[in-house]
Amino acid sequence: MNGAQVGFFILAGLLIVSSLWVVFQRNVVHSAMALVAALFLVAILFLTLNAPMVGVLQILVYAGAIMVLFLFVIMFLNPIGLEQRRRLWWGFGALAGLLLAGALVPVLTNGDAPRDPVVATELFGGPEELARSLFTDFVLPFEIASILLLVAIVGAVVLAKREP
Amino acid sequence: MIVDIGIVAIKAFLVLFMVLNLAGLLGWVERKGSALIQDRIGANRASIFGFAGMGLVNTLIADPLKFLTKEDFVPPSGDRFLHTLAPCLALFPALVTFAVIPFGDVLYLGDRVINLQVANLNVGILYIFAMGSLGVYGLVIGAWASNNKFSLLGGVRGSAQMISYEVALGLSVIGILMVYGTLELQEIARGQGALLRELLPESAGFLRATVGWLPAWGIFLQPVAFLLFFTAAVAETKRIPFDLPEAESELVAGSHVEYSGGKFLMFFAGEFAEIVTAAGLMTTLFFGGWQVPYLMRDGFHFPWGASILLPHVAVVLLQVGAFTFKVLFFCWLQILLRWTVPRFRYDQVMRLGWKMLLPVALVNVMITALVVLYMQHNP
């Protein structure tokens, strides 16, 4: 095991712990903070995979903006006491977990020697490379995604501003 | 290998040392400066063997000691874990952001080339925004964990304000990124070493003759962006006129009502470290970073033809000195601002952010994009 692998296993271990913390924590604010930690760790994983742009955007968008809005809403609603256990959700959760396991087990047990995923140059994952592919090969999906987001924003404003 | 790691460690230590100490010094500047503005004498009580040193001893030694020996109070109905975590979350982003701000050009030491910047990331400016966007957690979590309605109101105000001004802050910098064509702060600082007449097209003869002698600093190329950036950066540091999260006339002390002792000191130090970082960013993006006008790698070359050659060490020292001087100037400007203007009302803060700064920033981006496109087609 070389240094990069040791780093990966430490990161992955912390990531699993913080993700479990998100699920099993009864206090919603603690749960949200654990999710921030998980997103931060995923960003570091991206950094170790030579994709600093994706890593930084992960922090900027998810940890820095979306989770702050989550917290904002939690603080506004201020749920008194702790989240109650819900039996029905456990059923859904178990089903989703089984499906995911069904998809993951064949991948993990297929016996092929794992390839080193990082065969990339210095430029791979940098801002120039990302921008070039976004604005040449993927310009149509990129624009469609922007329009989708715009529609969502306009929809939210219309719903919020609706006359009683 | 060992030497390389050592060099990085020394650079990281130096930057951290400078930011933290400057944060401490700014505490003194703030107290003494406010006293000067309000016609008082100000902090002058603590002395060591009769030496009070304009109150400098006071703020550098007595204040932290006093903070650290006070009772660390956690509200009984609050959340002990998050209450302790919040000050760390407030201090962390303010301290790590300075890592990508260059404080000098390269230093040649023997056959080594040392880049005078802790971390040269190719996503430089995005890293700063990413860390800046984490700064809001210290405030919000601390406010929530205190279980106090005043602090909760402060936290809600703070999170809304910081998210709003992050948008304007990010958009105001886009113009600079387009002009210099890079996200790396070291490259932006190097790009500002040119003169304006080297950037202007041949056809703009009048402009070349009149303002061509100016260095190509961000302030000359993007003046509107600087005003937007300065306003948004002050709003991000949550100081007057944007200190709504802790408006003491309305919310006692807002988001840190329930903080005392060492934890309050961490919030306090975090705020001053944010000032230092904001000053470093203003310097790097708009005022040439470590550039001294007309100073090239081998000495001064004035636009009228004269030149003074200097040894390498003198050039590096001048550059680092210029950077420090500019940073100190912007720290002072931010502190002066706090004691000069009154606080906004909350609706005014929101209106300024969304209805004035954001549209102006968007128009600035559009115009800059058109000019850059025109210049690329008509060199």
Q: Within 10 A of A83 (CB to CB), how many other CB atoms are there?
A: 11
Tell me the H-state helices in B38-123: 56-57, 63-69, 80-96
Q: In this complex, which of B121, B123, B159 lies closest to A71 when CB atoms are compared? A: B159
pLDDT confidence bin for A1, thresholds 50/70/90: low
* Residue B43 domain flag: no
For residues A17 and A69, membership in a common domain is answered with yes
Q: Cβ–Cβ of A60/B160 closer than 8 Å?
A: no
Do residues B20 and B269 touch, judged by C-beta distance below 8 A? yes
Q: Report residue B310's pLDDT band, with 50, 70 and 90 as the boundaries.
A: confident
A29, A52, A126: residue with CB nearest B82: A29
Confidence of residue B17 (pLDDT cuts 50, 70, 90): confident
8 Å CB contact of A56 and B130: yes
Confidence at residue A164, expressed as pLDDT on a 0 to 100 scale: 66
Domain stop point among A80, A111, A141: A80
Using the Cβ of A44 and the Cβ atoms of chain B, whether some distance falls under 8 Å is answered with no
State the smallest CA–CA distance between residue B155 and chain A in angstroms. Answer: 9
B360 is a domain residue: yes
- Reduced to 3 states (helix: H, G, I; strand: E, B; else coil), residue B363 is helix
**What's the number of domains chain B is made of?**
1
The domain total for chain A is 2
Residues A63 and A129 in one domain: no
Range of the domain at B168: 72-377
Q: Judge whether B206 lies within some domain.
A: yes
Domain ranges, residue A12: 1-80
CB contact under 8 Å between A27 and B134, yes or no, is no
Long-range contacts, B301-304 (Cβ 8 Å, 24+) = B303/B195, B303/B197, B303/B212, B303/B213
For residue A19, the domain's CATH number is: 1.20.120.1200
Domain for residue B208, yes or no?
A: yes
User: Residue type at B256?
Assistant: H
Torsion of the alpha carbons at A3, A4, A8 and A14, rounded to the nearest 10: 50
Q: Same structural domain for residues A73 and A127?
A: no
Q: Tell me the nearest-neighbour CA distance from B166 into chain A, angstroms.
A: 9
Q: From B212, B321, B225, select the one nearest B281 (Cα to Cα).
A: B225
- Tell me the pLDDT tens digit for each residue of B78-116: 778 888 888 888 888 888 888 888 888 777 777 777 777
Residue A66 lies in a domain: yes
**Rounded CA separation B310/B316 (Å):** 10
Of A53, A80, A107, the position where a domain reaches its end is: A80
A118 belongs to a structural domain: no
Mean pLDDT along residues B224-247: 85
Q: What residues in A contact B143, CB-CB < 8 Å?
A: 75
User: Last residue of a domain, which of A27, A56, A80?
Assistant: A80
The pLDDT value given to residue B42: 76
Q: Measured between CB atoms, does A30 come within 8 Å of chain B?
A: yes
Does residue A116 lie in a domain region?
no
Given pLDDT bands bounded at 50, 70 and 90, which one contains residue B261? confident
Residue contact B122–A57, C-beta within 8 A: no
pLDDT tens readout for residues A108-124: 777 665 555 555 555 56
Check whether B204 has a pLDDT greater than 80.
Answer: no
**Assigned domain for B55 exists:** no
Residues A73 and A16 in one domain: yes
Contact A30 B82 (CB under 8 A): yes
Spatial distance between the Cα atoms of B229 and B236, rounded to a whole number of angstroms: 10
Residue A105 domain-assigned (yes or no): no
* Average pLDDT value over all residues in chain B: 83
Q: Taking the model in full, what pTM does it have?
A: 0.84
B7 torsion bin: left (phi>0), alpha (psi -120 to 50), beta (else)? alpha
Using a CB-CB cut-off of 8 Å, the residues of chain A touching B159 are 68, 71-72, 75
Nearest neighbour of A65 by CB, restricted to B140, B163, B183: B163
> Which pLDDT score, from 0 to 100, does residue A122 have?
57
Please report the residues numbered 62 through 101 in chain A whose beta carbons come closer than 8 angstroms to any beta carbon of chain B: 63-65, 68-69, 71-72, 75-76, 78
Q: Among the listed ranges A37-51, A96-110, B240-254, B340-354, which one has the minimum average pLDDT value?
A: B240-254
